[in-house]
Chains A and B, each alone.
Chain A
Amino acid sequence: DADVTQTPRNRITKTGKRIMLECSQTKGHDRMYWYRQDPGLGLRLIYYSFDVKDINKGEISDGYSVSRQAQAKFSLSLESAIPNQTALYFCATSDPIRDRVAENNEQFFGPGTRLTVL
Chain B
Amino acid sequence: LAKTTQPISMDSYEGQEVNITCSHNNIATNDYITWYQQFPSQGPRFIIQGYKTKVTNEVASLFIPADRKSSTLSLPRVSLSDTAVYYCLVGGGRRALTFGSGTRLQVQP
Q: Which of chain A's residues have a CB closer than 8 A to the CB of B98? A: 45, 59
Where chain A touches its partner, the secondary structure class is strand
Tell me which residues across on chain A come within 8 A of B43, comparing CB atoms: 90, 92, 109-112
Beta-carbon contact of B32 and A102 below 8 Å: yes
**Given known A102-B31, A105-B91, A107-B46, contact A56–B96 (CB-CB < 8 A):** yes
What per-residue 1/0 map shows which CB atoms of A32-61 lie under 8 Å from chain B? 010100000111110010100000101100
Closest CB of chain B to A14's CB: distance in Å? 23
CA distance A67 to B85 in the complex (A): 31
Residues 1-42 (chain B) with a chain A CB within 8 angstroms: 29-32, 34, 41-42
- Enumerate chain A interface residues (CB-CB to B < 8 A): 33, 35, 41-45, 48, 50, 56, 58-59, 88, 90, 92, 96, 101-112, 114
Q: Which residues of B contact A (CB under 8 A)?
A: 29-32, 34, 41-46, 49, 51, 85, 87, 91-94, 96-102
